[in-house]
Amino acid sequence: MAVRERPWPRTKAGDVVASGGLSDADFDELFRGSWLSLVRLSRLLVAEVSLAEDVVQDAFAALYRRRDRMRDVAGARSYLRVSVVNGSRSALRRRRVASLALRSHRFDDDVAGADQQALANAGTTAVLSLLHTLPLRQREVLILRYFLDLPERDIAQTLGISQGTVKSSAARGLKSLKATLGEY
């Protein structure tokens, strides 16, 4: 099932948002509507729910401190996405040994039943384990493209790279996955 953020509520006047910063009500709505999808995004990057929650919480705290500078909700969403990706990257950097362990298997905070495990071994876990062996940039590009369905332009903006780099990173990542998944 695709993860979708809830559409932003419109004001009585019909405008999408009031310009010039976020009100507390705006913030709360954005928080409630985006929390889970951002945790899921971060979790795909860092492979641990509790760490993902910290990353997202930090992103929202930073957003709230800068709420006066947000032009609109779209800008706030974009800020959150960048903040979560960057925060996840920083968290991964601090956890290099654990990330090595990830290459061998796991998403350790999920304890699946035996039947689920058998199915997972053939599918999700295998793909995700391979995904985590890719260089960080390729992994980020693939997650943003295939999880959030972001267009190349938005991926480039989120990661601070060119669209050409997005394209080449995605191609290399898919090629690597294909080469290994062909064995499964």
Partner 1 sequence: MNADIEDRLRAALRNQADGTDSAVPDPAELRGKVSARRQISPAGGWMPSVAAAIVVAGLAVAITVTVNHRSAGRQALAGSAAQSPSLSDPTPSASPLATDKPTGGLSDVPQPTPQVAVSTGPLSIANLSGPLQHEIVPVNAWTIHCNGANYIVYAGQSVGIDAMARYYPTGIGSVLGVISYQPSDSHLKPFHYEGSAGLGPLKITALTCSAVSLVDTVDGSEHSYDLADQLLH
Task: List interacting residues with partner 1 (CB under 8 A).
Answer: 1-3, 24, 27-28, 31-32, 35-36, 39-41, 43-44, 49-54, 57, 60-61, 64-65, 94-98, 101, 107-108, 110, 123-124, 127-128, 131, 142-143, 146-147, 174, 177-178, 181
Specify the 3-state DSSP secondary structure of 96.
helix
**Rounded to an integer, what distance in angstroms lies between the CA atom of residue 6 and that of residue 12?**
18
**Rounded to an integer, what distance in angstroms lies between the CA atom of residue 144 and that of residue 141?**
5
* Nearest distance, CB of residue 33 and partner 1, angstroms: 9
Closer of 21 and 146 to partner 1 (Cβ): 146
* Nearest distance, CB of residue 74 and partner 1, angstroms: 19
What's the maximum distance between 2 C-alpha atoms anywhere in the chain?
A: 57
Closer of 71 and 146 to partner 1 (Cβ): 146
Residue 160 carries which side chain, given as an amino acid letter? G
* Nearest distance, CB of residue 50 and partner 1, angstroms: 6
Cα 21 to its chain centre, rounded Å, is 24
* Nearest distance, CB of residue 96 and partner 1, angstroms: 6
The angle subtended at Cα 126 by Cα 122 and Cα 131, nearest 5°, is 155
**Rounded to an integer, what distance in angstroms lies between the CA atom of residue 132 and that of residue 130?**
5
Q: Which two tokens stand for residue 9?
A: 């509520």
Closer of 18 and 101 to partner 1 (Cβ): 101
Closer of 3 and 118 to partner 1 (Cβ): 3
Closer of 27 and 72 to partner 1 (Cβ): 27
